[in-house]
Chains A and B, each alone.
Chain A
Amino acid sequence: MKRVQLQRWSSTVLSPRAQTASRLHQHVFPAGSRCQSTASPLQAESSAQEGLGDSGFEDVELMKHVRSAHRRKDMLKYPSPPVDAALNSAKLAALHARLYLPSRLPPQTLARALVDASADSNPDFNNESLATLGHDLLTYYTTEHLLCTYPRLPLTVIFAAMYAYAGPKTLAAMAREWGVEHASLPGGEVDPGLLQFRRVAPGSDLNVLYNKRTPRPYAAQKAWRMTVTSKIFYDDEFGDAIKGPENSGEGVTAELASATFVRAVMGAIYLHAGRPAAKRFFEQHFLSRHLNISQLFNFSQPARDLARLCARENFEPPVARIISETGRKSRHPVFVVGIFSGQDKLGEGAGASLIEARERAALAALKGWYLYSPLNVRVPSSMEEEGAAPWKPVYVDLGEVIV
């Protein structure tokens, strides 16, 4: 049996970069390009002549090096990587594949989503517009999910749940989980797979950095009471004061830049792949995160609130009764107290004292009221799907108990 000659194989198997550059190959290459080019033979001949002259004059490797250095110098002029660099970035392709993004979303847009407005102020090349769209979609989908699934939630709990689902801290954690790394400084020569933003100078005060230009009247009056209801009108979707546009050139925190990137990805998916893909992305990456809403409550006087609730809903006034107890005269007694309204048990709680058990039972009853969830929850955006069933109005509650 004849042995395969490795010497011959190597030239075809190995990539061109790994091949030893021989003068013969370089001389052959322009001729090959001429055959494939659509330009007229004369032009092609002249370009081949130029190529021949260049390569003939100097070492090809050195030439290549000089050219790439020139290109890098050109790229240094740009504040963010050029668009065609996205096709050559392994990091970007890996991120695209890791997130299982739709193939209709090109890597160029993903690269644009990674450029923060603090890195490139040109709105045609940064992710600001994508992030605005993505933020609106995220908050809309989260809000409709919360309001339709738990229609009785108090507003403060809704704000807390919104922050837990789509707040900047969560989005930054998601970007970290996705394996997005930060570029130390933005620039045209940076790998487009890195998140690019201008960092805040160390030691700068973040509260001063973001000027709080809120539409709320009398915002300067710090001592005045801010009602929860007014937060719907004047504040953002998390119940915090609306932050004005940040001063340009000051930089952003890594957390904010990561959050903007995640929002921009959401906006890009919506633009390139459409509404169903955006909805699916939201369900897979945001709604799938576990949030125990029952832990977001904090009551100061649950028994009083429950009494008000029963009066409002025309139930019999709540009565606390001992269901079972053990060790009343011991050091560690346990009482199990139930709150009853008429014959119905509203809640049950256990505690080391009668007062504690009663408070816990009232709290359980209040949570039972607030955490009511209808059967077969549908959200308004489900009507956008093809062939959706006719819309039935969702359950709308009277509102939380006001004492």
Chain B
Amino acid sequence: MATSIAASKRPFVTLPFLLPSWSDSLALGSRRYQSSYRRTKQRLRVKPDATFGSSYQGRDQIIYNPPSSAPSVYHTPSKFLPSNDARRSMRIEDSATGNVTDKVEELPNVYRSDPERKYHLTPADVEEIRKLRLSDPMTWSRHKLAKRFECSPLFIAMVCEASPEKKQIQRQVLEAVQSQWGPKRRMAREDRKLRREAWGRDE
């Protein structure tokens, strides 16, 4: 009974996403707003749902109500609090008495395996890397050198730099490849770059 009343209070016109797209232009002219406090209040009243309760805690579930949101950046992690901050001891007490922390070790790593740091290259090896890269830059690329000396390409880049001629050739190759791109691919690449920049601004 209650559901039928709730349904009649919500006519289709107030739920524009249920209407077909052609009716958008029609609905624009005759849209009605919640012009009274009582109506707004009524719309915001959420009926209690079974998923609201705490009985679901501790069991496997796929519905989280209310849904989780990203933690606020103004909430400083306990590790970042200075030693004389009062919140530090309060949180330690809180975690000791209350909720069980998840096993951090059980969570899967983002990368398959951590890169193992070997620190095995000697100054003589570094000299040889430089010599090889200068002598034949086309054969001895960063990745080939990294494979041969069992280090990362980043380390090769830190140790030596490609000759200007090689850089020029590489730039020409890149330009030749990019000239083959159509408008769609070019736009997609630019969008990708913009999205990547937006990560740093947290947008």
Contacts and interface: CB of A to CB of B under 8 A. Distances in A.
B76 A368 contact: yes
Contacts of B76: 368-369, 371-373
Contacts of A349: 70
Contacts of B107: 321-323, 338, 340
Contacts, number: 90
* Contact-residue bracket for chain A: 35 or more
A321 B108 contact: yes
B200 A341 contact: no
Interface in A296-340: 297-300, 302, 315, 319-323, 337-338, 340
A135 interface: no
Contact of B80 (A295, A298, A354, A369): A369
A263 interface: no
Nearest to B106: A321
A364 B74 contact: no
Interface string B62-103: 000000001101111111111001110000000000000100
B6 interface: no
Nearest to B69: A350
Interface residues of B, number: 27
A367 B110 CA distance: 21
A128 interface: no
A356 B199 contact: yes
A363 B81 CA distance: 17
Nearest to A367: B73
B109 interface: yes
For the complex, would chain A's binding face be called helix, strand, loop or mixed by DSSP majority? mixed
B114 to A, nearest CB: 8
A297 B202 contact: yes
B75 A368 contact: yes
Interface in A368-403: 368-369, 371-375, 395
Nearest to B203: A295
Contacts of B77: 344-347, 365, 368
Given A322-B107, A341-B79, A342-B79, 17 more contacts: A294-B73, A299-B200, A319-B114, A320-B111, A338-B107, A344-B78, A345-B104, A357-B110, A359-B200, A360-B202, A364-B71, A364-B202, A368-B73, A369-B76, A369-B80, A372-B81, A375-B85
Interface of B: 70-71, 73-82, 85-87, 101, 104, 107-111, 114, 199-202
